[in-house]
């Protein structure tokens, strides 16, 4: 049976830079057609990349691009393992040029690199459409980035044109898997069932080690061996789109029905209608079967006609966030931390609502007033770090919070120490839909 192997070596920007080594070792050992994908974008990553590009016009792509590729680029090119990624972020062409430079630094022939264009819709030609799309319009001066989630078709065309490396910006996470499958098997862009199956396989791969036990681990309840040497996932896709999920032999982690089902349902709002740029995937009748240790088969996925619109994420400047932290330890630490918080609240009463977390008592649930702590009967810790945060449109007002936390050193309560403060600009996010025809997508091969 013709099997296509696709390994995932990153699930977000900042993932482990050595993850690709074990995946490439496994792909080389298995032989046959194979791809390596890197998924490095999240909702705000592109806005941060745009800000980075304002400082450096040649930047704006994945900061760890070279660290991720350097250990494996030579082997991938030597063994015809093609690379597909969205680590172009705000500057796919810049990323492509850096990859070519890396190849030359390593003494390799320049690879054929394709750049996907079209996801950036922040320009003037799209402004009227963005302003007309609900929710209400934004001040154009505050927009940092606007990117459409684009699909797999351009990736497939680029691979058919001979690309050894494909670099995009906001390529939708599952599309990194769908594109190689389309190109390898020759699937049509309206073969909804096959595209639906490949989309859910891509969904399993897109978060890297989540599906191979990383985010699943919970000692004593969901034990995962070898967490320090987790194997990243590999899929074996057949021509009909059904697939087996596995990981490199001998690596840490686990791939079983439990890990696969957790990841399958991750970020799915409607199991029968998972909306992507390529297809509406339907896992209402999906089946997950364990074939052997670390080998799980996914079947029963269907696909429906793709949406007529594309999702767009708009990131915009939204003011400033100030934070301050101070620690209290020993007897009555919790009470002293609460008194410190109340002192800050009163002195900053005119600045808006503060977010207070008593880390070590009950911070995760945003229990500013201690209601949850009292209701659950949880014991107050003997070591509490009080964190307070404020968002404000005015920088000077936000900076007041930093000064008030610092003043707790001598203004009390007793025994506070280890103050840290920070002030940074904030980004807000809104999403809207644009008609597909307003987002022309193309690829070009780097000269």
Task: Assign 398 a pLDDT band (cuts: 50, 70, 90).
Answer: very high
Question: CA-based angle 441:150:75, to the nearest 5?
Answer: 95
Return the closest-CA partner of residue 296 out of 268, 269, 252, 264. 264
Q: Three-state SS for 340?
A: helix
Tell me how far apart the alpha carbons of residues 306 and 174 are, in angstroms, rounded to a whole number.
Answer: 14
Element (H, E) at 395: helix 395-411
- Do residues 255 and 295 lie in contact, with contact meaning Cβ atoms separated by under 8 Å? yes
The pLDDT of residue 1: 60
Q: From residue 217, how far is each of 177, 220, 254, 311, 321 by CA, in Å? A: 25, 9, 10, 32, 33
Average pLDDT over residues 395-408: 96
Q: What pTM, to 2 d.p., does this model score?
A: 0.91
The pLDDT of residue 330: 85
Supply the angle between the helices 175-185 and 192-205 in degrees, to the nearest 10.
130
Return the closest-CA partner of residue 202 out of 114, 131, 92, 303. 303
Least confident among 195-209, 230-244, 380-394: 380-394
Alpha-helical regions (H) of 32-91: 45-55, 65-69, 73-78
Average pLDDT over residues 200-216: 96
Average pLDDT over residues 199-226: 96
122-136, 171-185, 322-336: which is most confident = 171-185
The pLDDT of residue 375: 52
Alpha-helical regions (H) of 150-305: 153-160, 175-185, 192-205, 257-264
Tell me how far apart the alpha carbons of residues 178 and 184 are, in angstroms, rounded to a whole number.
Answer: 10
- Segment 190-201, tens digit of pLDDT: 999 999 999 999
**Share above pLDDT 70 across residues of the chain, in percent, rounded to a whole number:** 93
Tell me how far apart the alpha carbons of residues 199 and 310 are, in angstroms, rounded to a whole number.
Answer: 16
Kindly provide the b/e burial profile for residues 39-68, where b requires at least 16 CB atoms within 10 angstroms of the residue's own CB. Answer: bbbeebbbbbbbbbbeeeeebbbbbbbbeb
The DSSP-derived string for 209-244 is GGTTTTTT-BTTTB--S-GGGBPPPEEEEETTS-EE
- Segment 223-262, tens digit of pLDDT: 999 999 999 999 999 999 999 999 999 999 999 999 999 9
The pLDDT of residue 136: 58
The pLDDT of residue 387: 95
The pLDDT of residue 131: 79
**Share above pLDDT 90 across residues of the chain, in percent, rounded to a whole number:** 82
- Do residues 281 and 306 lie in contact, with contact meaning Cβ atoms separated by under 8 Å? no
Q: What's the alpha-carbon Rg for the chain, to the nearest Å? A: 24
Average pLDDT over residues 375-380: 50
The residue assigned the tokens 């410190």 is 340
- Do residues 419 and 405 lie in contact, with contact meaning Cβ atoms separated by under 8 Å? yes
- Segment 101-143, tens digit of pLDDT: 999 999 999 999 999 999 999 888 888 888 777 775 676 668 8
Supply the angle between the helices 175-185 and 153-160 in degrees, to the nearest 10.
40
Question: CA-based angle 245:92:39, to the nearest 5?
Answer: 20
Question: CA-based angle 8:10:12, to the nearest 5?
Answer: 135
Tell me how far apart the alpha carbons of residues 34 and 177 are, in angstroms, rounded to a whole number.
Answer: 11
Least confident among 64-73, 138-147, 342-351: 138-147
Average pLDDT over residues 58-78: 97
Average pLDDT over residues 269-298: 97
Return the closest-CA partner of residue 142 out of 429, 433, 432, 442. 429
For residue 378, pLDDT beyond 50: no
Residue that wins the pLDDT comparison between 364 and 91 = 91
**Residue 13 Cα to chain centre, angstroms:** 7
Element (H, E) at 288: strand 287-292
Q: From residue 400, how far is each of 145, 263, 284 by CA, in Å? A: 29, 43, 53
β-strands 383-392, 417-435: how paired? unpaired
β-strands 287-292, 295-299: how paired? antiparallel
Tell me how far apart the alpha carbons of residues 78 and 365 are, in angstroms, rounded to a whole number.
Answer: 51
Over the chain, what is the mean pLDDT?
Answer: 92
For domain 315-430, say whether CATH 3.30.565 is its number: no
The pLDDT of residue 152: 98
Question: CA-based angle 220:223:227, to the nearest 5?
Answer: 130
Terminal-residue alpha carbon distance, the chain: 37
Tell me how far apart the alpha carbons of residues 306 and 278 are, in angstroms, rounded to a whole number.
Answer: 6
The pLDDT of residue 301: 98
Q: Where in the chain is the domain with CATH 3.30.70?
A: 315-430
């Amino acid at each position: 049976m013709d099997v296509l192997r696709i390994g995932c070596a990153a699930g977000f920007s900042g993932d482990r830079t050595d993850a690709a080594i074990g995946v490439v070792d496994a792909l080389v050992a298995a032989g046959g057609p194979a791809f390596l994908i890197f998924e490095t974008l999240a909702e705000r990553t592109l806005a941060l990349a745009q800000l980075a590009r304002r400082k450096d016009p040649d930047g704006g792509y994945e900061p760890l691009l070279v660290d991720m590729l350097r250990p494996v680029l030579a082997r991938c090119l030597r063994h015809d393992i093609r690379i597909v990624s969205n680590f172009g972020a705000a500057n796919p062409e810049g990323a492509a040029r850096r990859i070519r430079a890396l190849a030359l630094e390593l003494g390799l022939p320049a690879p054929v690199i394709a750049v996907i264009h079209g996801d950036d819709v922040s320009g003037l030609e799209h402004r009227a459409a963005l302003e007309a799309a609900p929710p209400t319009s934004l001040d154009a001066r505050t927009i940092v980035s606007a990117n459409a989630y684009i699909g797999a078709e351009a990736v497939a065309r680029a691979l058919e044109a001979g690309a050894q490396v494909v670099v995009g910006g906001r390529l939708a996470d599952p599309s990194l898997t769908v594109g190689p499958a389309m190109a390898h098997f020759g699937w049509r862009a309206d073969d909804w069932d096959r595209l639906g199956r490949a989309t859910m396989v891509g969904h399993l791969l897109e978060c890297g080690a989540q599906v191979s036990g990383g985010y699943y681990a919970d000692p004593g309840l969901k034990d995962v061996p070898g967490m320090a040497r987790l194997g990243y996932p590999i899929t074996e896709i057949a021509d009909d789109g059904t697939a087996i999920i596995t990981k490199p032999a001998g690596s840490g982690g686990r791939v079983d029905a439990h890990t696969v089902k957790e990841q399958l349902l991750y970020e799915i709002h409607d199991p029968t209608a998972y909306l992507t740029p390529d297809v509406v995937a339907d896992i209402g009748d999906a089946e997950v079967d364990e074939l052997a240790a670390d080998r799980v088969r996914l079947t029963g996925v269907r696909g429906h006609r793709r949406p007529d619109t594309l999702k767009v994420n708009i990131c915009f400047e939204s003011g400033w966030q100030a934070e301050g932290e101070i620690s209290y330890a020993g007897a009555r630490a919790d009470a002293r931390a609460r008194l410190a918080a109340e002192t800050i609240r009163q002195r900053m009463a005119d600045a808006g609502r503060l977010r207070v977390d008593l880390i070590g008592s009950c911070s995760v649930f945003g229990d500013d007033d201690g209601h949850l702590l009292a209701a659950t009967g949880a014991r107050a810790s003997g070591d509490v770090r009080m964190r307070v945060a404020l968002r404000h449109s005015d920088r000077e007002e936000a900076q007041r919070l930093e000064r008030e936390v610092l003043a707790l050193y001598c203004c009390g309560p007793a025994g506070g120490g280890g103050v840290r403060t920070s002030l940074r600009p904030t980004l807000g996010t809104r999403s809207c839909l644009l008609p597909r025809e307003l987002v022309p997508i193309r690829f070009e091969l780097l000269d």
